[in-house]
Structure 1
């Protein structure tokens, strides 16, 4: 009887050890799965799902499969903190997220305390990485880079024109508008109007009339695709056709659905299209075979997971600080190409170009 019990106990220990060795590694993609920015949440989710499927098909990470959790913050700061806490309770070791800077910044405090690596594919407000958190990274550029490109472009291409700068009061929108304004002013251009609106506003007729009365030639919008689309559509409805310029929050086909033909000629800044990268060719083909075009931040999310996996494999551990050191130590092969991170966690070599909307599609030369 004693021998039987000893055998059973030994077997249980062996089985428990076997189970632990093959337990899943929990990661998450957290972003706006519902709400006004849900189109971007869908991009992130699809990118994460494809990355996890591809990695697991090749054997996973450290001999274990990745298990993906999906968190919905609806681009709301308070909800983002709740989602971050849920990730911590789920024993997540890595988060690809969030989308909105106003979500990523407060959520980063939770991840820092929990020792979770956070790589945002989309949050561009400089404060995200300026807080000095060892665990925070991004695969996208920053608003001070994007704003500099936009400010120089407007100063060079629209000399003598009246410029209005609008923003939606969010960390992203106001941050981008202010960086663009800063560069314009540095170039000796003073904006004719600087106005704020509320994210979620639908009626811009009064604002449009004010700009039309002031004979504004160029409208720069620091904000998201919904409001930008409504502003230009309602401008055209009033017989007023200014040049609309904005940032990377317009990289979704949803913009054209809102703006319609009034969106023709809209200019926006975004990084060079990763769908054109030779490193992304196979992944892009797989997405298109599934009848999905991996636009916007789809591949930036895929790349965030690739970079994390590469660092984990290098240090043979999911320990946050070890992985963070590996992320900053060298280059990581991704669908964005070989990327690295500086000591703040910003991706190195980030660049912005101008895209133009034409016939319902956006592209750059």
Structure 2
């Protein structure tokens, strides 16, 4: 009589928001591999964080359902989802937790303000970090070999907004406000550089916070300046009320913002004022992504809700990590890291390749406004 013993080895991949376990009993996998994901699952950005986590979760579930073999071993993925609440301190704490859990890669963080401080921890541990949404240029400019992203940067997004302001909106003057986060400041700074280069007169640049609810003091000052446009660097949770209060003060200026502002939820947060907003997303619109409509259908069937913003980016990020495992024939973090520079993956977003810093070789910026409360595509700028 012979006896067969299955030996299982646990490897972890982190995702911020709480540990998500996968059922492995029926699969009888030789190896459990954890992929980490980090995003805000509490606080004002939780709706966007959950959307990002859902995208990663859908990829993990699909890969497990198809069956995954790495280096001759059957593998089951587990999504280790953690919550950073968009807070840099909590972000670094969770990053260290994922390292201690021995994750093999991390999809995250969602915000630049948490991605940047966490990146040092992942770099020291030699763990690949693929952000689905961090757009601040400095994220990949630190010299770390572990940092990657699947979106365009604010060095592209800011100028795209500034160019649209001048060429299409025919703006001559602008007032700038940012939310004092790495994301908001970075986007506003890149916008301001290009605005000045385009001949726009920058009347003021004020700072608020990502937790502010009352913007009337700043907006009253801006009303006196009478700008053609207001550039807001921040997320929809504050940008929506900002636009609403600007309308209540009868400010005529259009409000512009980046991908943090440009979510479906903005219509609810800004009310009727959403019709005065022009915003950008660091990527192609979902409907124009090569596999976007099919992804959207699967996402809605699985989660019974619409895609908010970053779900397709997190989805592809998981597949990119898994493709690196396949090329390496290994789930060891060092081997995954060594395989990442050769990424050439075609997924929902289209073809993804990285440059030496970990940025996209080809990027796109989509510009939108809102008509009858619905997000409407204005233009796509290839970078």
What is the number of residues matched between the two proteins?
Answer: 354
1:280 counterpart residue number: 292
Change (3 A) 1:204 1:111: same
Structure showing greater Rg: 1
The answer on whether the counterparts of 2:324 and 2:343 sit within 8 Å (CA) in structure 1 is no
Measure, in 2, the Cα distance between the counterparts of 1:33 and 1:351: 27
Q: What's the RMSD between the two structures over aligned residues?
A: 1.8
Whether contact under 8 Å (2:48, 2:308) holds in the other structure is no
Q: Which residue of 1 aligns with 2:7?
A: 18
Tell me by how many angstroms 1:152 deviates.
1.5
Mapped pair 1:80 → 2:56: no
Higher share in strand:
2
Deviations 1:97-136 (A, max 9, x none): 0011110011111111122111000001111100111111
Partners of 1:19 and 1:196 in 2: CA distance = 52
User: 1:134 & 1:275 partners in 2: Cα distance?
Assistant: 33
Show the 5 A alignment for 1:326-365.
326-365=339-378
Structure 2 distance, partners of 1:238, 1:316, is 60
3-state SS, counterpart of residue 244 of structure 1: strand
- What is the distance in 1 between the residues matched to 2:170 and 2:85? 39
Per the normalisation by structure 2, the TM-score is 0.88
Which of 302, 305, 315 is equivalent to 2:315?
A: 302
Q: State the alpha-carbon separation in 2 of the partners of residues 284 and 239 from structure 1.
A: 38
**Secondary structure of the corresponding residue to residue 264 of structure 1:** helix
SS at match of 2:129: strand
User: How much has 1:155 moved relative to structure 2?
Assistant: 2.2
1:64-213 to 2 correspondences below 5 Å: 64-159=75-170, 161-213=172-224
- The residue that corresponds to 2:15 in the other structure is none
Q: Secondary structure at the match of 1:250?
A: coil
Q: How does 1:218-257 map to 2 (within 5 A)?
A: 218-257=229-268
Inter-partner Cα distance in structure 1 for 2:34 and 2:146: 17
Determine which structure has the larger helix proportion and give its number: 1
Change in CA separation of 1:206 and 1:330 when aligned onto 2, cut-off 3 Å: closer
In structure 2, runs of 5+ residues without a counterpart are 10-28, 379-383
Following superposition, the deviation at residue 61 of structure 1 comes to 4.7
Structure 2 CA distance for aligned equivalents of residues 328 and 42 of structure 1: 29
